[in-house]
Amino acid sequence: MRLGHLGLPVSDQGRSLQFYSTYFGFIPSTAQSYPDGTTIVRNGDGFDLALHPAPGVTPPDGFLHFGFAMDDATSVNAVRERLESDGVPIIERDDEPELVSFKCLDPDGWRIEVYWET
């Protein structure tokens, strides 16, 4: 058994599709729309992100987040620097010998972690 998809309510599917394609490796050509309005897009690992239209999205405060693992600390820092230079909010950073990570916010305020750990 493996985790195969994440359903995410979003206020603007086009904006979210662009964001996740630009920064997190989701492939726009794989996007499919369904009768309920959901658009599902896949990344190179075969993971599906289901973007469901939902006006007034308000992510909860606190711990809720999802994460992307990287192969090394340098890659984590490169993604963070790219997001920062493009004005994406970085809300948390860790730089320790065994863990390098950060959390950012997507266009609707969902927390995303990018990390490497030994």
Q: Which pLDDT score is estimated for 61?
A: 87
Q: Which pLDDT score is estimated for 106?
A: 98
Q: Which pLDDT score is estimated for 20?
A: 98
Q: Which pLDDT score is estimated for 19?
A: 98
Take residue 74 and report the two structure tokens written for it.
């340098």
Q: Which pLDDT score is estimated for 1?
A: 95
Q: Which pLDDT score is estimated for 25?
A: 96
User: Which domains, ranges and CATH numbers included, belong to the chain?
Assistant: 1-56 (3.30.720.120), 63-118 (3.10.180.10)
Q: What is the DSSP string of 56-105?
A: T--PPSSS--EEEE-SSHHHHHHHHHHHHHTTPPEEEEEE-SSEEEEEEE
Question: Which segments in the chain show pLDDT lower than 50?
Answer: none
